Amino acid sequence: MNKLITFILFIVISCSLFSQQMPQYSQWSTNHFALNPAHAGIKNCLEVHSLVRMQWVGFDGAPKSGFFNLSLPLPAKRTHFLSARQGFGIRFEADQIGPYFTNRYGISYAAHFNFSQNTRLSLGINAGMIQIGYDPSKSTTIAPDPTISKELSLTLPDASFGAWWNGENYYIGLVLNNLLRSRWTDFGTDSRFRLHTLLYAGTRVKLTDKITLLPAALLKIPPAGPVAIDIQGMFDFQKRMNLGLGWRNTDAVILFAGVKINPRFTVNYSADIILSAINNQARSSHEISLIFSGCVPENTGTLKCPLF
């Protein structure tokens, strides 16, 4: 009986997550380009971000997500005031939930308009392909069911739009995902991708000469279902180490830690402590990311936020 209840609970949650169509990441505030195509080439150097997320550890068929992103500026001469700098990026993302998988491949372009030395508007678009599929070998039913025994795979066009505004000590972002709302022709009579909206903002507060507080908040607005709210605060210690705490209204309390292992590479780790009903079967989720930055390291005594 317990196994039957667990199976039914998993199916309900898996279908709910799959219908939301977008994986979630706790470390979004340190991986902006993974969230927003407007961040392509926003810094004057090559950046490479990679991340792996293991959600609901211990739960059979639990979500597994990750991405690999590359971002760099494009050479361009600024001939007049408000001439845009330009950026280019490559994005790859994989998401697996039980027998369902989603892979996204995209190329991003962004234009960055500086209104002053410290204020900037960035607009970006990502275009590519999305592959969705179903692997029956990863599905177990109580009784044989021929309706779910067929392997399915579908490749569709994909696009998203992003906007970003930042000042010296704050930023605001907007992202529109699944702009094309492509139909899943082999997955049902009216199955399709739905528009997902993200709104987020953050700021920087200098506490001492060595410690900076970086609070941030993210609203995830799906086409149906509750709005998800992520709130987090990160303490940055001279850009050498960070520690933080976060909260997600639908799911978890989040612990963050990161360290710069050398001037080019940073490793970040986060752990979600599950608060929702799923904690009877899985009590935590985990993320680890590796960031490479080609930017010339700044004096660690300056408390500049690495997000700007």
Percent of the chain at pLDDT exceeding 70: 81
More confident of the two residues 297 and 271: 271
More confident of the two residues 57 and 297: 57
Domain coordinates in residue numbering, the chain: 2-293
Q: What is the pLDDT of residues 147-162, one digit of tens each?
A: 566 678 889 999 999 9
Element holding 218 (H helix, E strand)? strand 211-221
More confident of the two residues 278 and 213: 213
Taking 50 as the threshold, does the pLDDT of residue 49 lie above it?
yes
2-293 — its CATH code?
A: 2.40.160.40
Taking 60 as the threshold, does the pLDDT of residue 55 lie above it?
yes
CA distance 213 to 192: 41
Query: In the block, which residue shows the tokens 């971000």?
Result: 49
CA distance 22 to 226: 14
Burial per residue of 203-224, b for 16 or more beta-carbon CB atoms within 10 angstroms, e otherwise: bbeeeeeeebebebbbebebee
pTM, entire model: 0.83
Mean pLDDT, residues 183-210 taken together: 83
